[in-house]
Amino acid sequence: MRRSQILPMKSASHRAGAVGDTMAEQAETETARGLPSYADVARAAERIAGIAHRTPVLTSRTADAQTGAKLFFKAENLQRGGAFKFRGAYNAISALPEAVRARGVLSFSSGNHAQAIALASQLLGIPATIVMPSDAPAAKIAATRGYGAEVVLYDRYSQDREALGRELAEPRGMTVIPPFNHPDVIAGQGTLAQELIEEAGPLDVLVACLGGGGQLAGCALAAAALSPGCRVIGVEPEAGNDGQRSFRSGAIVTIPVPRTIADGAQSTALGDLTFAIIRREVADILTVSDAQLVATMRFFAERMKLLVEPTGCLAAAAVLHGLVDIKDKRVGVVISGGNVDLATFAHLVGPTS
């Protein structure tokens, strides 16, 4: 068995001033459209510095040998709250005017964004209400409540979480922070790719997980600025391929709530902000099966000693199962989270017949 390796940490070097006149002009154009730019990613990095963990970049000789590439895994399962979502949540809340922030925030999430908003709100000393599906993993619901947030449960297959959220937020004067379609959330998620590229160096390919598109869009902004020529690829579950269909048709496609073990990617459509960035900056969107996610969970546990949730395995599953052309390339792979019930983990990765 090969051991995974941790790349030495490098000091952060926020490069907002290094993107040149072209990037500055692009930032002005995108601001006018409501889209974040790399300059927003750089500002987000400053806001979360010393608050969010600068998670390690891991390597594995076994994974490299299996794929014929040099892989760099960004281990966001070791982030505060157990997932990359803390970056966007803290950035979005801390960017609010103080008086607005004091009234509290509301969000809707299957788990990781919920925990992120709850934890960020606790750290900033404000109230938080989270609308969560009743079938969300018990560990995610418990953790969200443990961070002090009020949790309101709903049926994801029959109720509209956004409408329910608005009904709760408006009379309380709370600000709604959606899980992905928000410029400050997108910018915050992009900081993970910024750190990855700063530590690993230029990449040929960057593979990210895809649900609503916040991670993929943010990572694409960072990659375009810091590693020009890097191909950015998103990966979503087979049962929830709305992103792939949207990308290939050129218009946002909405689907029923997908039934997949990747509970963090059960979104039904991309957001207008995330889709605009993905269309422009992303090379392709692929899908993986639940079986491939389970195999990848097992690989991480056995070979790299990492506990990774199904959604967190999306990008790695595509890479390890040969769905991406990466031979002889330097490849960044996002491990997006590790929040999975131990009983569920044991059931999924346990002995096979």
Dihedral through CA 17, CA 19, CA 21, CA 24, nearest 10? Answer: -80
Per-residue CA distances from 193 to 28, 39, 63, 100, 292 (Å): 22, 14, 20, 30, 24
> Please, are residues 285 and 234 in contact by the beta-carbon 8 Å criterion?
yes
Interatomic CA distance for residues 178 and 146, integer angstroms: 21
Radius of gyration, alpha carbons of the chain: 19
Catalytic residue, from 30, 40, 184, 242: name it: 242
242 flagged as catalytic: yes
236 flagged as catalytic: yes
Interatomic CA distance for residues 123 and 52, integer angstroms: 11
Catalytic residue, from 60, 227, 246, 336: name it: 336
Identify the CA nearest to 194 among candidates 87, 280, 89: 87
85 flagged as catalytic: yes
Contacts of 99 (CB under 8 A, 6+ apart): none
Catalytic residue, from 30, 40, 199, 236: name it: 236
3-state secondary structure 212-246: CCHHHHHHHHHHHHHCCCCEEEEEEEHHHCHHHHH
Catalytic residue, from 85, 184, 198, 332: name it: 85
Catalytic residue, from 190, 211, 240, 337: name it: 240
Strand order of the β-sheet with 231-237 is: 4-6, 57-60, 70-75, 330-335, 205-209, 231-237, 284-288
Catalytic residue, from 110, 227, 246, 267: name it: 110
Which residues does the annotation mark as catalytic?
A: 85, 110, 236, 240, 242, 336
